[in-house]
Amino acid sequence: MKLLSLDELIKTLPINKTAIERLVSLDKIPYKKIMSGEGEAIRFCPDTIISWIESGVNLSMDDTEYLEGLKKRFEEINPEAIEELRKFSAQFIDPPKRYYLIPVKNKKLGIVYYVTYLHNGKLVPTKWTTRTNNKELAERFAIENRERLIKEYYERGAKKTYDEYLSVFKAYYSKDSPYLQIDINRGRKVSEESRRIYNNFINNQFIPYLKSHGIKEIVQIDTPFLTRFQNYLLADRKKDGKLIPGIKPQTVNHYISHISVIFDHLLLEGSIKTNPCKSVIPIKIGKGDQRATGCYEVDRLKGVFNREWESDLGYMLTLLMYTTNMRNSEIERIRIGDLIMIEEYHFINIPESKSGNGVRAVPLHNFVYDKLMEYAKKNNKTDYIFKTKSKKIQSYVYKNAALELAKYAGYSPEDLEKENIRFYSGRHFWKTLMNGENLGDVEEFFMGHKVSGDVAKRYNHRDKQGREKLLEKTKEVFAILDKWIFKP
């Protein structure tokens, strides 16, 4: 089907060019990005536009979208004038924020705010809480008592009390933590999901363990103590009559490494002389402690996506996992605007990832593209296809999808457990399938992995291979999917 240019779309809809460009910039209208002789271009699929109109055009904008659009309009009208305003405004920039409020759980008030000051480029904690859960009152306390509390801190030799050390541990991985901002400036960034995990671990396991063992001084948290904490985490224990299995060795090692980060911070600011975590011996991970992820036999999935599934969402998530090798999080973030074309092939553009290698274009088979657009139309999706901006797909959805696929592939739940096959096994299956057809060189090309080996890093310049190589690999991938997945 012929794709329409912007000028051609104007001739079919009662809307002007500027309005369409604004709809595209706000992802309010379905469109595709293609590569042409003049570079990247915007195109519109007639069928998709028809579906968009049939589902009811939603052009409502919240204040944020409206202001962003207005900002862009001002920039376009006269960039030089806007730059003059920017230079003028720079003379009156407010001074940087010189304190942080850190919420800490409190039995009586729910939370109370502790205040931490930024002084001469260094975070200066105080032993005082603001004694309130009202943020406005806490801010007033922080401003009015700044000089007194900083002076008191330095007069006692800048030595923290144990409560102050504990407040650093409590707040280090909290939301909007000033400590994490310092880490970012030093090149260490923690994802939001990881931040929540570490924050829960510190506040729900590490700090309660400190209190239950009567720790009153920071020097008591030494290497032998942390080794005993390792053993505590590994051991099974009972709670409310139920047996709670211990944490796996690799996870315990991971948690200790993130406690070590906090000690590193205290070391760098001069509050302690050594980091006790550095001498903790990591727990050896045995063969039985870490199971390899399994996957299906390559000939067991022929035709499973040509049949009706009980769950439309489970079908689409599984179809994408097994035919594109994308990660769960990448599938959840797919937006209509991420569907692009390069020559005659569809791709999913992944513009952001946890690593530079993850930023890539993933080939999207025509069968999968059609099913994806059909799902988007059926569910009135015009932006994110599988999630809202604030709500993730729940884990049980992936679990149920994996069980439904197993049923069609002739595997029982016991088989899945025995071979450790789960939803994420789709990436392993895809790679196994490509290797079985002697299509190597896909780890970095389409899976978002790093190139392994120093020689490969120095000599395998993927970015120089160009579009021709990309399309050649894409054609080969589609041929393999046709052979093993879509033809029963």
Comparison of pLDDT for 226 and 299, the residue scoring more: 226
Sorting pLDDT into bands at 50, 70 and 90, what band is 453? very low
Q: Say which DSSP state 426 is in.
A: H
Q: Rounded CA gap, 88 and 342, in Å?
A: 44
Across 301-330, average pLDDT: 90
Q: Say which DSSP state 486 is in.
A: I
Across 357-373, average pLDDT: 84
- What percent of the chain lies above the pLDDT cut of 90? 14
Q: Is 79 in contact with 35 (CB distance < 8 Å)?
A: no
Average pLDDT over all residues of the chain: 80
Amino acid found at 45: C
Give all domains of the chain, ordered by start, each with its CATH number.
Answer: 6-87 (no CATH), 99-288 (no CATH), 312-486 (1.10.443.10)
Q: What is the pLDDT of residues 57-86, one digit of tens each?
A: 777 666 666 677 678 778 888 888 888 887
Q: 468: helix, coil or strand?
A: helix
Query: What pLDDT score was predicted for residue 322?
Result: 92
Q: Is 305 in contact with 365 (CB distance < 8 Å)?
A: no
Q: What is the pLDDT of residues 398-446, one digit of tens each?
A: 889 999 999 998 888 888 888 888 888 888 888 888 877 776 655 555 6
Q: 478: helix, coil or strand?
A: helix
pTM of the model: 0.48
Q: Based on the number of CB atoms within 10 Å of its own CB, is 136 exposed (0-12), middle (13-18) or buried (19 or more)?
A: exposed
